[in-house]
Amino acid sequence: MNAEDSEMASQAGEWVVRMHAHDCTEEERAACLRWRARSPAHEATFRGMERAWLRSAGLAANPAIAAALREAERDGMQARRSRRRRWAVPLAMAASLGLVAVLVGPMRLLDDRPTEVQQYGTAVGEQREVVLPDGTAVLLDTDTTLAVRYSKRTRRVELTAGQARFAVTPDAERPFTVSANGGQVTAVGTAFTVRLDAAATTVTLLEGAVVVEGPADAAERRPPARLKPGEQLRFARDGGEWATTIVNLDVAGAWTEGHVFADDWPLSRLVDEVNRYSAVKLRADPAVAELRISGGFRFDDPQALALLLSHSLPVQSAEAGNEIVLRRR
pLDDT, tens digit only, all 329 positions of the chain? 577 777 888 888 888 877 766 667 777 877 888 888 788 788 888 877 876 665 544 444 445 445 544 554 454 444 334 433 443 444 444 444 444 334 434 444 444 555 557 899 999 999 999 999 999 999 999 999 999 999 888 899 999 999 999 999 999 888 999 999 889 999 978 999 999 998 899 999 999 999 999 887 777 778 889 999 999 999 987 777 888 999 999 999 999 999 999 999 999 999 999 999 999 999 999 999 999 999 999 999 999 999 999 999 999 999 988 999 999 98
- Report the distance separating Cα 54 and Cα 33, nearest Å: 18
- The C-alpha atoms of residue 329 and residue 219 are separated, in whole angstroms, by 47
Q: Are 269 and 282 in contact (CB under 8 A)?
A: no
What's the pLDDT at 78? 47
Separation of alpha carbons 183 and 218, rounded Å: 9
pLDDT of residue 115: 59
What value, to the nearest 5°, has the Cα angle with vertex 298 and ends 292 and 301? Answer: 105
The domains of the chain, with CATH numbers, are 3-110 (no CATH), 116-250 (2.60.120.1440), 258-328 (3.55.50.30)
pLDDT score recorded for residue 97: 43
- Specify the pLDDT at position 195: 97
DSSP state of 289: T
Q: What are phi and psi of 217, to 5 degrees?
A: -105, 15
Question: Helix, strand, coil shares of the chain as percentages rounded to 5?
Answer: 35, 30, 35
**Cα angle at 323 between 322 and 327, to 5 degrees?**
165
Q: What are phi and psi of 228, to 5 degrees?
A: -110, 160
CA distance 266 to 283: 13
Which amino acid is residue 34, in one-letter code? Answer: R
